[in-house]
Amino acid sequence: AFEVTLEKSGKTVTVPEDRSILEALRDEGVATVSSCESGTCGTCKTKLISGDVDHRDMVLMDHEQADHIMICVSRAKDGDLVLDL
Ligand code: FES
């Protein structure tokens, strides 16, 4: 598991191994937008403030990976993440 801190709402949510970031946020009542939930549509694109991301989507261009994350499939690689939510 790892933690995701939401910079704007001041919340911190734990993401278990068997849940996506998107699911974990939804469980906590955080409003999110999604569609495919398989890393292909681009709907759940979220701005990343800090953290080391394990990108698992098919959407982000190389130059976007430094500051964006697709929260339906991607995870923290090491440590925790801070998102602009
Ligand atoms: Fe489609 Fe995440 S919901 S890429």
Ligand 1 pocket mutation, candidates 25, 32, 37, criterion most atoms within 8 A of CB: 37
What is the DSSP annotation of 50-64? Answer: EEEEE---S---GGG
The H or E element spanning position 3 is: strand 2-6
Between the CA of 33 and the centroid of ligand 1 the distance, in Å, is 9
Q: How far apart are CA 55 and CA 51, in angstroms?
A: 12
Q: What is the pTM of this model?
A: 0.96
24-44 pLDDT, tens per residue?
999 999 999 999 999 999 999
Q: How far apart are CA 52 and CA 66, in angstroms?
A: 9
3-14 pLDDT, tens per residue?
999 999 999 999
Tell me what pLDDT residue 83 has: 98
* Predicted complex ipTM exceeds 0.90: yes
Ligand 1 pocket mutation, candidates 72, 74, 83, criterion most atoms within 8 A of CB: 72
Classify 82 as helix, strand or coil: strand
Between the CA of 34 and the centroid of ligand 1 the distance, in Å, is 5
Instruction: Determine contact, residues 81/2, Cβ cutoff 8 Å.
Output: yes
